[in-house]
Amino acid sequence: DQQVKQNSPSLSVQEGRISILNCDYTNSMFDYFLWYKKYPAEGPTFLISISSIKDKNEDGRFTVFLNKSAKHLSLHIVPSQPGDSAVYFCAASKGNSGSARQLTFGSGTQLTVLP
């Protein structure tokens, strides 16, 4: 049962244009969402997050949108740069009493920004 889904395994975008990465989730108990960026042979690094009480969070070129009714979030990168080429993971979190808050990850989307 995949609770966090990234249906596009890959995305190619021209440099300077907008990159839109999508993520869907099924568990309505998720209340915090994150995006991570991963280069080959490295650990993922945190990019941006959003709480379920918000519908938008912006940080420089990166904006995350959350649509709770559709259980959908997206990451917008504007303008896209070649250095943005990486695998992007969507992750979701929910509170668990008596245990560590865990992140559930999607399968990732490989973004390639073409010069």
Partner 1 sequence: SQTIHQWPATLVQPVGSPLSLECTVEGTSNPNLYWYRQAAGRGLQLLFYSVGIGQISSEVPQNLSASRPQDRQFILSSKKLLLSDSGFYLCAWRQGRGDYGYTFGSGTRLTVV
Contacts of 76 (CB under 8 A, 6+ apart): 18, 19, 20, 62, 63, 64, 65
In the complex, the smallest distance separating the C-beta of residue 112 from partner 1, rounded to whole angstroms, is: 16
Taking CB under 8 A as the criterion, which residues in 77-96 touch partner 1? 89, 93
Is 112 a binder of partner 1 (CB under 8 A)?
A: no
Burial category of 96 from C-beta neighbours within 10 Å (exposed 0-12, middle 13-18, buried 19 and up): exposed
Neighbours of 4 (CB within 10 A): 22
Which of 42, 53, 70, 83 binds partner 1 (CB under 8 A)? It is 42
Which of 22, 74, 104, 112 binds partner 1 (CB under 8 A)? It is 104
**Candidate segments 54-62, 66-74, 77-85, 99-107, binder of partner 1 by CB under 8 A:** 99-107
